[in-house]
């Protein structure tokens, strides 16, 4: 992948990440006015995942839909990333006794980086898409 294309992909990834984060925040605040915080959190998280998936699929990686291939991969990647953030949080808090803001900062840096690498290398991989298209012929 040429450097310019990589830089464009990274920029689009950041834009989608910001859009998904804003969607989460605004939804959580709106839902939080009329429901329990955890319920508001779960609903806002689910809505932001839809924004993230569609943005990454159509805009960042330009996979052009193909939801039968990519939606399941996105769900698996999201589960792996969630588990990673929980593990980092547990180790940082329970094992290393780091302050919560430090642990949150570690998650905030590692999650997007791991997300980008997993989505680029597996979820929306051009090689996977090309192999699937060959199988369909």
Could you read off the pLDDT of 86-113 as tens digits, one per residue? 999 999 999 999 999 899 889 889 999 9
Q: What are the structure tokens assigned to 101, written together?
A: 């803001």
Question: Would the pLDDT of 85 be above 70?
Answer: yes
Measured from the Cβ of residue 88, the count of other Cβ atoms closer than 10 Å reads 18
Q: What are the structure tokens assigned to 97, written together?
A: 């006794």
Q: What are the structure tokens assigned to 120, written together?
A: 């680029």
pTM above 0.85, yes or no: no
Burial of 93 (0-12, 13-18, 19+ CB in 10 A): middle
Could you read off the pLDDT of 57-84 as tens digits, one per residue? 999 998 887 888 899 999 999 999 999 9
Domain regions of the chain by residue span: 1-62, 66-137
- Among candidates 68, 83, 93, 67, which has minimal Cα distance to 115? 83
pLDDT at position 126 = 78
Task: Using pLDDT thresholds of 50, 70 and 90, give the confidence band for residue 135.
Answer: low
Average pLDDT estimate for 17-41 = 92
């Amino acid at each position: 992948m040429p450097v310019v294309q990589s830089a464009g992909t990274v920029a689009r990834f950041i834009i989608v990440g910001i859009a998904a984060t804003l969607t989460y925040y605004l939804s959580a605040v709106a839902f939080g006015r009329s429901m329990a915080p955890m319920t508001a959190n779960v609903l806002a998280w689910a809505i932001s995942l839809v924004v993230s998936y569609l943005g990454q699929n159509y805009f960042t990686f330009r996979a052009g839909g193909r939801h039968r291939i990519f939606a399941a991969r996105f769900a698996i990647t999201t589960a792996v990333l969630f588990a990673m953030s929980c593990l980092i949080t547990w180790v940082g808090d329970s094992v290393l006794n780091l302050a919560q803001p430090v642990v949150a900062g570690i998650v905030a840096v590692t999650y997007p980086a791991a997300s980008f690498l997993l989505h680029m290398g597996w979820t929306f991989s051009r090689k996977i898409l090309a192999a699937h298209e060959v199988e369909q012929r």
